[in-house]
Amino acid sequence: MSDVLERARGLLGRVLHAHGTSIVITEVEAYGGTQDPASHAYTRTPRSEIMYGPPWRLYVYRSYGIHHCANVVTGPTEQAAAVLLRAGRVVAGLDVARDRRPGVPDHRLASGPGNLARAAGIDLDDLGTDLLGDGPVRLGDREAPGSVSAGPRVGVTREADRPWRFWITGDLTVSAYRRSPRAPSS
DNA sequence: AACATGATTCGCT
DNA sequence: GCGAATCATGTTG
């Protein structure tokens, strides 16, 4: 189970190539699947089915009816662990990303999970994509980040205190922490 | 078939 | 800092 934490940290600094953009991942959150009450995969449903399969595939879900969020399934198979991509820095395809998010300053283009998916052009059509293949969404090289910080996950009500959110210390693109109003007071 | 609930964002105070 | 928007998904009757 702690495997997903290593995978989460290992995704920081890695490049995501998606639909004409390249984004360096700067902030992630780990979800422990069947072992984690906060995970969508805690209960197996049609929506979460993809996470029970092989790792390195893309799990995309709709949030609040409007936004899309992108996750990397980390496995092992049947454990359904995944890592939510929360923020990144657009390093290529800036013009494309700007078109997708008009009026937003560059360092905010992919700040926040819904915004990252938007800037990357990721939606439900990309569900299940093999991120190690050479499709329209794939993972590329990694440049090890200098310093990594950890803290509680944003917006979750259950297990709200697990420090399973990781980000590159001091990076401008990292989104703000906000505890769920429904989470029990820490 | 109806109800409750978000792994969020944006705008206003 | 706070609250509304908005609808697919999961849960309950």
Distance CA A87, CA A84 (A): 9
Placement of tokens 């995969």 in the chain? A41
Task: Compute, in degrees rounded to 10, the torsion defined by CA atoms A157, A158, A162, A165.
Answer: -50
What integer pLDDT is reported at residue A181 of this predicted model? 87
What integer pLDDT is reported at residue A2 of this predicted model? 64
A162 touches strand B (CB under 7 A): no
CA distances from A29 to A9, A49, A135, A136, A149 (A): 9, 19, 24, 23, 12
What integer pLDDT is reported at residue A184 of this predicted model? 86
Cβ-based contacts (< 7 Å) between A 68-87 and strand B: 69, 71, 82, 84
Rg of chain A (C-alpha set): 15
A180 touches strand B (CB under 7 A): yes
Distance CA A113, CA A106 (A): 16
Distance CA A160, CA A36 (A): 11
Instruction: Go through the domains of chain A in sequence order and give each one's CATH number.
Output: 3-168 (3.10.300.10)
Q: Which two tokens stand for residue A27?
A: 């902030």
A157 touches strand B (CB under 7 A): yes
Give pLDDT tens digits for A67-104: 999 999 999 999 999 999 999 999 999 999 999 999 99
Distance CA A83, CA A123 (A): 17
What integer pLDDT is reported at residue A185 of this predicted model? 78
A32 touches strand B (CB under 7 A): no
Distance CA A38, CA A154 (A): 11
Within 10 angstroms of residue A145's Cβ, the number of other Cβ atoms is 18
Distance, CA of A46 to C1' of C13, in Å: 22
Q: Is residue A169 pLDDT above 70, yes or no?
A: yes
pLDDT higher at A11 or A183 = A11
Percent of the residues in chain A that have a pLDDT greater than 90, as a whole number: 95
Residues in chain A: 186
Distance, CA of A39 to C1' of C12, in Å: 21
